[in-house]
């Protein structure tokens, strides 16, 4: 019977390897790896020799169905790995896992280190409810809009990944869009030069700017939104049709209803289309 193991691998420290990871890789006939070179280093560390095939973001769409077909035809057990952490979580693998499910192949997760959970555990924020966003937009306008939408969800803690070359710009955007929030910016978790910056976002930004090696390592950010005041809910603008019909029911003619919709803040084009629909409706009734 074919099996797909989804194998979480260490995010930096090979001492985090579990006996179950070794067992899953030992049982596998084939390793589907984000980077076969990284997978070979892991296999060599465990004293294992296994054939590997690449399954990364640029080829998993085309490769997954053929790999699943091979698993079924040859009754293969495959271990899916990414470079670090858990496959399919802001890393390649979801397409292959989905293809395995659709083909009736048993999927077995092999849990292991996660940068997200590791960062949350060290941040000290109340993360009974949190949201994970992976990599945020690069362009500043889109990034600030995304950060604002994150705040508007009402979820108190958010987690994101960032590359070392953009981490300062991300924290600058956080300070600009979410002033007063707290941050835990984690660099190279579990590795030799692990570093965690924690505190008010402005203080964390200063610490990052002072670090001459800030553009080295991999970053995971935890944003604590709980210190911020609740977002004021915007009053909903009634749809033009509703605003105009409400006015007509109160005795207004079509022109007065149009003015009422305008005063309610309805867009001009919506008002025009609503006026046409309502006029046609009354003409049909006449």
Can you give the pLDDT of all 286 residues of the chain as single tens digits? 999 999 999 999 999 999 999 999 999 999 999 999 999 999 999 999 999 999 999 999 999 999 999 999 999 999 999 999 999 998 999 999 999 999 999 999 999 999 999 999 999 999 999 999 999 999 999 999 999 999 999 999 999 999 999 999 999 999 999 999 999 999 999 999 999 999 999 999 999 999 999 999 999 999 999 999 988 766 665 688 898 989 999 999 989 999 999 998 888 888 988 988 888 887 765 5
Q: What residues contact residue 255 under an 8 Å CB cut-off, 6+ apart? A: none
Cross-strand pairs, 224: 157, 182
Q: What is the pLDDT of residue 284?
A: 63
pTM, entire model: 0.78
Q: What is the pLDDT of residue 193?
A: 92
Q: Is 83 exposed, middle or buried (0-12, 13-18, 19+ CB in 10 A)?
A: middle
Neighbours of 153 (CB within 10 A): 11
Domains in the chain (CATH in brackets) are: 3-113 (3.40.1010.10), 116-224 (3.30.950.10), 240-285 (no CATH)
Range 28-33 contact pairs with CB under 8 angstroms and sequence separation of 24 or more: 28/77, 28/78, 28/79, 29/74, 29/76, 29/77, 29/78, 30/76, 30/77, 30/78, 30/79, 31/78, 31/79, 31/81, 32/67, 32/78, 32/79, 32/80, 32/81, 32/96, 33/80, 33/81, 33/82
Q: How far apart are CA 93 and CA 39, in angstroms?
A: 14
Q: How far apart are CA 80 and CA 235, in angstroms?
A: 48
């Amino acid at each position: 019977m074919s099996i797909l193991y989804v194998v979480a691998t260490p995010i930096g420290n090979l001492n985090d390897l579990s006996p179950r990871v070794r067992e899953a890789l030992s049982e596998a006939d084939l390793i589907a790896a984000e980077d076969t070179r990284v997978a070979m280093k892991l296999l060599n560390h465990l004293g294992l020799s296994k054939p590997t095939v690449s399954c990364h973001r640029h080829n998993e769409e085309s490769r997954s169905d053929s790999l699943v077909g091979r698993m079924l035809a040859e009754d293969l057990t495959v271990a899916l790995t990414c470079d670090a952490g858990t496959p399919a979580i802001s890393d390649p693998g979801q397409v292959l896992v989905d293809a395995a499910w659709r083909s009736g192949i048993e999927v077995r997760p092999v849990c292991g280190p996660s940068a997200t959970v590791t960062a949350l555990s060290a941040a000290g924020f109340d993360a009974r409810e949190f949201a994970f966003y992976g990599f945020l937009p690069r362009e500043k306008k889109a990034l600030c809009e995304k950060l604002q939408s994150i705040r508007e969800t009402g979820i108190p803690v958010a987690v994101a990944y960032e590359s070392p070359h953009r981490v300062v710009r991300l924290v600058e955007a956080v300070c600009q869009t979410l002033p007063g929030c707290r941050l835990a910016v984690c660099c190279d978790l579990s590795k030799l030069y692990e570093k965690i910056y924690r505190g008010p976002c402005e203080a964390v930004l200063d610490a990052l700017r002072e670090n001459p090696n800030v553009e080295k390592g991999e970053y995971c950010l935890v944003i604590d939104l709980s210190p911020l005041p609740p977002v004021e809910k915007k009053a909903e603008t009634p749809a033009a049709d509703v605003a105009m019909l409400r006015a007509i029911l109160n005795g207004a003619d079509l022109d007065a209803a149009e003015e009422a919709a305008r005063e309610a803040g309805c867009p001009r084009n919506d008002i025009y289309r609503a006026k046409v629909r309502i006029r046609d409706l009354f003409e049909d009734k006449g």
